[in-house]
């Protein structure tokens, strides 16, 4: 699972139109993802706890978003969790407008990661 979730060029499909990374995955790497119907968004990898957790951060005027990607093994498989933590003066407004869309996108993207991992 870790190998797939840290290799953005493997992600496209489903809701993800394109995904790229500017160098080898690790702290400071810049990941750009374009989802269907949305703009391309870049984030910087700010935390890595291989093979369990990585975090990417995006910043905009008045808003920062921290995207957490967590892998938890359980007896009958693996649980993938993707979440966003919004902060800044515009966080409340952003959560109202893009929160539901992000929640739907996370269900799709974690499903896509699981699908790719199962095929590997």
In the chain, where the domains are located: 2-119
DSSP 8-state assignment for residue 36:
T
What secondary structure does DSSP assign to 41-99, as a single string? EEEEEEEEETTTEEEEEEEETTEEEEEEEEEEEETTEEEEEEEEEEESTTHHHHHHHHH
Q: Which long-range contacts (CB under 8 A, 24 or more apart) does 47-55 make?
A: 50/2, 50/6, 51/1, 51/2, 52/2, 54/5, 54/6, 54/25
Token pair, residue 108, equals 């799709």
| Helix or strand holding residue 115 (H, E) | helix 91-119
Question: Quick one: pLDDT band at residue 11, thresholds 50, 70, 90?
Answer: very high
Cα-to-chain-centroid distance, residue 109: 8
Share of the chain above pLDDT 90, in %: 95
Token pair, residue 14, equals 């489903």
Length of the chain: 120
Beta-bridge mates of residue 13: 16
Model confidence pLDDT, tens digit, residues 55-67:
999 999 999 999 9
* Statement: residue 76 has pLDDT above 90: yes
- pLDDT of the residue at 48: 99
| Fold adopted by 2-119 | Alpha-D-Glucose-1,6-Bisphosphate; Chain A, domain 4 (3.30.530)
Model confidence pLDDT, tens digit, residues 17-70:
999 999 999 999 999 999 998 899 999 999 999 999 999 999 999 999 999 999
């Amino acid at each position: 699972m870790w190998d797939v979730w840290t290799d953005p060029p493997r992600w496209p499909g489903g809701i993800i139109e394109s995904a790229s990374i500017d160098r080898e995955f690790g702290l400071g790497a810049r990941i750009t993802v374009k989802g269907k119907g949305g703009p391309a968004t870049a984030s910087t990898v700010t935390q890595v706890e291989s093979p369990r957790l990585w975090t990417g951060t995006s910043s905009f005027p008045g808003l920062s978003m921290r995207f957490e990607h967590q892998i938890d093994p359980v007896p009958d498989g693996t649980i993938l969790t993707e979440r966003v933590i919004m902060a800044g003066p515009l966080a409340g407004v952003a959560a109202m407008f893009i929160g539901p869309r992000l929640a739907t996108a996370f269900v799709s993207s974690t499903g896509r990661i699981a699908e790719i991992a199962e095929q590997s």
